[in-house]
Amino acid sequence: MMPPKPQSRAVRAEALVATMPNVPCDVADRLRQAALVKDLAPRGMPAALERFFSRLAAEGRAPEFAQAEDFAASTQSRTAFRTLLAALSRFAPDVPTAAAVPVKRDWDAWLNGRYNTRAPRPRRSRREALRPEEWPEAWRAALPCLARRARRDGRRYRPLGSKSRGSVVQAVGLLALARENAIAEGSEFGDGFTPELAEAFLGFLVERVNPRSGEPIRFGTIADYFERVMCLAARAELYAPDGEASFGEILAACRAEAAEETPMKRARMREFREKHGLDGVLLAAVAASEEARDLPGHSDRAARLRRKAVVFALLVNGVDRQGDLSEFRIGRDIVRRADGTWEPAFRQSKTARWKENGPLWGLTGLLIDAHVLEGRPAWCIETRIAELDGCNLLSLQAEGFDTYHASKLLREAFGISGHLIRTAVTDLLRRHRPDAAWAVQRLLGHSVEWMQENYRSEFAEVASVEKYHAALEMLVRGETSPASAPRRRKRG
């Protein structure tokens, strides 16, 4: 008996199309054309497309409104899910796949739980500072005063934010360790902050090395530690006679020594200005959003690029601390107005002061829109804002990233931290408009009593110096909206 004659590619392509009655004609035609050239890989793409579009038809949903449950219901395995995403990316690029992200996350968690389960390695703590329960009783009892207003010797102290309180607790923990070490060597101390305790603390810090770099601790860091422990001592009246003078003298000496050390920060700032500048950060933000637009909406790389664009634009536009930026919540700390502008208004974690400087630039708003849409059409923006109400702006989930996530992204691209962006903007203002020091204060969120409209009109003039404003104008006029003009992805 003769073996059956092999079917031609054209016949096989038509047979594949016949198995997809619910797939839109244009999608089926793209698949047919691809099958005429070579065999489809992965092989299950026609069946995956049919299951997906059958599900949408049964639910009465257009492809543009596909939900996470549609992706989950039409794929029974991780392989089938990945096959569906590959098929949509190749043959139906106009179908938004951002809704598939939760399903992708669930399948990845299943895979990791099944194949990557390892017994957690015991973590060796590098903590040196003593915990509050190991401090002298008077020090431990003074901790609550950090979170309260206090008035001592005619000086007023405001409540510290949670991050500042943590810094003080860590510094006092090191002071307690230095005290304990000195007692073990034969010294005697009471509970007060004495001149002898100040000398013991200085000797302790001078002998320490940075656990990461292995280099001695810088004098600027030592001064910071002294400043923090003095914060607790002043509020709680823990100084012994002459104690405050001794701690203050050492603090001043360390600050003077720090001024003589290599000015690394200024060197990094100079290098940043020469190589990139603030306009370079804005250009990188737009470039990241553009690159993300050419990737599938569900991909991790696209999400990271969109997030990077938002971080870069916000750091230059709002000059906010990275800790505050990482905690922005949609509809709470940052709101999208009816005219499409985004406006942050929040209480700063470090100073506990309210900061509200008006709407963000149009460019920044467009980048945030693109980030929120995740590849969906622009007309979905109101729905997305409602869905994400209360979610973290950067992660688009209930939980955010760590405090230094913004700095990590900035360091990858420019080798500087978010704090140096604040320095770059304020240096620019101070050099060109020294009479507008109040504008710098307002921009940084410092305490200053000036009307909002006065600030905005003044800053519009100040911001026009150098290439800063020119770059912004070029980007706004020369770039198409990342949110409202999605391009068709190029396919080889």
Stated length of the chain: 492
- Which segments of 74-161 does DSSP mark as H helices, in order? 78-91, 101-115, 137-142
Q: Three-state SS for 386? A: helix
For residues 319, 254, 431 and 358, what is the CA-based torsion angle, rounded to 10 degrees? Answer: 20
Structure confidence by residue, pLDDT tens digits, 422-480: 767 766 655 554 444 444 555 555 443 333 333 333 344 344 333 444 444 444 444 43
Q: 376 or 120: whose pLDDT is higher?
A: 376
Structure confidence by residue, pLDDT tens digits, 263-301: 566 677 677 878 888 888 888 999 999 999 999 989 999
Those residues whose C-beta lies under 8 Å from the C-beta of residue 65, and which sit 6 or more positions away, are none
Q: What domains are defined for the chain? A: 9-108 (no CATH), 132-261 (no CATH), 267-478 (1.10.443)
Cα distance between residue 92 and residue 94, in whole Å: 5
Q: Three-state SS for 216? A: strand
Task: Report residue 229 as tokens.
Answer: 């422990």
Residue corresponding to tokens 């530690």: 225
Q: 8 or 31: whose pLDDT is higher?
A: 31
Q: Answer for the pair 350, 366: CB distance below 8 angstroms, yes or no.
A: no
Residue corresponding to tokens 């823990």: 238
Work out the mean pLDDT of the chain and round it to a whole number. Answer: 82
